[in-house]
Structure 1
Amino acid sequence: MARHGAGSGRRRRWTLITTALSVALGAYLLVRTLSGYGLAELDAAVRAIPAARLLGAGAFAAGSYLCLTAGDWLALRAIGRPLPYRYVGVAAFVALGVGHSIGLSGLSSGAIRYRFYARRGLTLAESAKLVLFCGLTVALGLMALGALALLLRPRLAQEITGLGRGGIVAAALACLAGVGLYLAAAAFRLGRLTIRRWSIEVPPWRIALAQVAVGSVNFALVSACLHQVLAAVSDVAYPGVASVFVIANAAVLVTNVPGGVGVIESVVVHLLPGTDVIGPLIAFRVVYFLVPLALGLLVFAGAEVVFRRRGRAGPAPGRDAIGPAASPAR
Structure 2
Amino acid sequence: MIARRHLLKFLIGAAICLAIFLVYRSLGRYTLDEIEGSVQSIAGFRLASAFLFVILSYLCLTGFDTLAVRYAGRPLAYRRTALASFTALSIGHNVGLAALSSGAVRYRFYSRWGLTAEEVAKIIIFCGVTVGLGLVTLAGLALLLQGRGGPDLLGLDSLVRTALGLVCLSVAVLYLLLCAFVRRPLYLRSWRFDPPKLSLAIGQIVLGTLNFACVAASIHQLLATFTDASYLEVAGAYVTANIAALISHVPGGIGVLEATMLAILPSTASIGALVAFRVLYYFVPLTIGVPTLLVSEAYYRHRGGRFSEQTVM
TM-score by length of 1: 0.84
Find the aligned partners of 1:271 and 1:17 in 2 and give their Cα distance: 40
- Larger mean CA deviation between 190-199 and 204-213 belongs to 190-199
Partner of 1:37: 30
Task: Give, as a single letter, the amino acid of the residue that structure 1 aligns with 2:246.
Answer: L
| Secondary structure at 2:152 match in 1 | helix
| 8 Å contact kept, 1:265–1:281 | yes
> In structure 1, how many angstroms separate the alpha carbons of the residues matched to 2:27 and 2:53?
22
Change (3 A) 1:157 1:307: same
The count of residues paired between Structure 1 and Structure 2 equals 307
**Distance in 2 between residues matched to 1:46 and 1:86, nearest whole Å:** 33
Deviation at 1:169, TM superposition (A): 5.3
- How many Å separate the matches in 1 of 2:8 and 2:304? 12
The alpha carbon displacement at 1:105 in A equals: 0.9
Matched ranges for 1:290-309 at <5 A: 290-309=283-302
Residue among 58, 81, 96 paired with 2:74: 81
User: 2:155 matched to which residue of 1?
Assistant: 159
Following superposition, the deviation at residue 15 of structure 1 comes to 6.3
Partner residue, 2:102: 109
Cα drift, residue 205 of structure 1? 0.8
Deviations 1:133-182 (A, max 9, x none): 1010011111111122334459337538xxx9877655433322221111
Matched with 2:188 is: 195
Q: Cα gap change, 1:271/1:77 in structure 2, threshold over 3 Å: closer, same or farther? A: same
The answer to whether the 8 A contact 2:16-2:91 is kept is no
1:287 corresponding residue in structure 2:
280
Q: CA deviation at 1:191?
A: 2.3
The answer to whether 1:123 aligns with 2:122 is no
Moved more, 44-53 or 19-28: 19-28
Segment drifting more, 40-49 vs 296-305: 40-49
Q: 1:62-81 maps to which residues of 2 (within 5 A)?
A: 62-81=55-74
Amino acid at match of 2:93: H
Deviates more, 1:110-119 or 1:273-282: 273-282
CA contact (8 A) 1:129 1:198 kept: no
**Runs of 5+ in structure 1 lacking a partner?**
1-6, 318-330
SS of residue in 1 equivalent to 2:193: strand
CA contact (8 A) 2:12 2:105 kept: no
Q: CA RMSD in A?
A: 2.6
For normalisation by structure 2, the TM-score amounts to 0.88
Contiguous gaps of at least 5 residues in structure 2 = none
